[in-house]
Structure 1
């Protein structure tokens, strides 16, 4: 919970300062404010199915867990980008990438799609060697409906 509150505070500072972060800076915070806590809580709610190894997998920056969070964040940002701009919210991954790289929206969409494909590759790669129960991966939200 402390990690989530710190991330929300960082986002609030960006909004107050009208600051558009670099893509890496944005993603390090946005992955925390998107689905991290929800994923942890959903694991805890599964009681005896979840082992210490399962929770360690989350907290030790697993490649596939990170990829699942990335999928959710990028898909959400790509879908809501125009709407969020009108609401005056903090910059999304789309704005961050466009600002940092001087890219068009189309170029940004291509880059985000590449990152989504890379994330799926990371998930598939780790799936083959995963030691936690595989059905736990299905509990992690991948995108908003």
Structure 2
């Protein structure tokens, strides 16, 4: 939580100063500010199985699977929401940072970041297939389930920010509408 709040504070300072960070600086901050690292860590709290201190330390040290999912979450969020965010007071997204730093078009950036997302999914799959022995499989599964949730939120636009879209319908079908079996 402390790391997350620090990244929000840094973003507020950037916004106040009208500062556009370079891509590396942005991503270092944004991989934490996207909230996935905290979500993955706190998702372990309500598990009915024993979670060792070492497992929490493994998670806090941002293993490859958590880093990869954070990359997917941040890039997907920025790709789906950057145009709307720039219409109000908001820090530049990775799209604007990349445009400024490399002079690339939006289309070129989208192609580049789709490759980044694909590589991140490969890292996730490698971790799950050749899993490390220091954490139980149910921990890796929980981390993956959070990634699937993030993927669902951004499938058809910014479902996290836009509460009137497809995500609302999915929640309604899941929790409100009855299903005849």
TM surpasses 0.5:
yes
Structure with greater Cα Rg: 2
Aligned residues, how many? Answer: 145
Counterpart of 1:23 in structure 2 is: 23
Change (3 A) 1:47 1:16: farther
Counterpart of 2:58 in structure 1 is: 57
Three-state SS of the structure 1 residue aligned to 2:87 is helix
Change (3 A) 1:54 1:140: farther
**Matching of residues 47-86 of structure 1 within 5 Å:** 47-48=48-49, 50-86=51-87
Bigger relative CO (Cα 8 Å, ≥ 6 apart): 1
Whole-Å separation in 2 of the counterparts to 1:44 and 1:31: 21
Unaligned runs of 5+ in 1: none
Whole-Å separation in 1 of the counterparts to 2:119 and 2:110: 14
- Superposition TM-score, scaled by structure 2 size: 0.73
Whole-Å separation in 1 of the counterparts to 2:65 and 2:31: 13
Whole-Å separation in 1 of the counterparts to 2:47 and 2:26: 31
Three-state SS of the structure 2 residue aligned to 1:19 is coil
**Matching of residues 1-145 of structure 1 within 5 Å:** 1-34=1-34, 35-48=36-49, 50-130=51-131, 131=133, 132-133=136-137, 134-141=140-147, 142-143=150-151, 144=153, 145=159
Whole-Å separation in 2 of the counterparts to 1:122 and 1:2: 27
Of residues 124-133 and 109-118 in structure 1, the stretch that sits farther from structure 2 once superposed is 124-133
Whole-Å separation in 2 of the counterparts to 1:53 and 1:47: 17
In angstroms, what is the RMSD of aligned CA positions?
Answer: 1.7
Instruction: Name whichever structure is richer in helix by fraction.
Output: 1
Unaligned runs of 5+ in 2: 154-158, 160-181
Kindly indicate whether the alpha-carbon contact (under 8 Å) linking 2:95 and 2:109 is maintained by their aligned counterparts in 1: yes
- Superposition TM-score, scaled by structure 1 size: 0.90
